[in-house]
Structure 1
């Protein structure tokens, strides 16, 4: 089942949801309580964000007894990359990214 990319873009548009995905990238399989520790918002707000991430198939859940564990699902992000970035020449984009990084490093020096 392929994800609806409109739902994925909507889910990724919110910085708190992106933070949740970053936290899951760092350590997959966290409970709601563990995820709440990374954000300054109520448990109910985190739950609402997780529901949207689940609907976008960016987060998958596994029940272990009474514990609900949340896991990052990178497939929808890969689908976006393939659709929107894949059609451009990757080498040219990589060269531009390298140039940007080099110029930013020169500014820091």
Structure 2
């Protein structure tokens, strides 16, 4: 299965998605996001086509289909927490070669 490695815009998009979620739901929403991207990558590998709802297996193709909060020009506490959660969970997945 080919998982597109995240780039900086993917990290920002995922952070914006989490900022649109209640604080208590953010860890689970981040895990779900990663699972959906992996599911889309498997679908594309099997069919050769992007999934209609989940995209092509890239983070951006999925997250851009979801509600996003604006990214604050100056990072506040909520943005720092969401950003650190995204980085931590992306690091803990197969997105990152270790």
TM-score bracket relative to the smaller structure: under 0.3
What is the TM-score of this pair, normalised by structure 2?
A: 0.26
What is the TM-score of this pair, normalised by structure 1?
A: 0.24
Q: RCO (CA 8 Å, sep 6+): is it higher in 1 or 2?
A: 2
Bigger strand fraction: 1
* Larger-Rg structure: 1
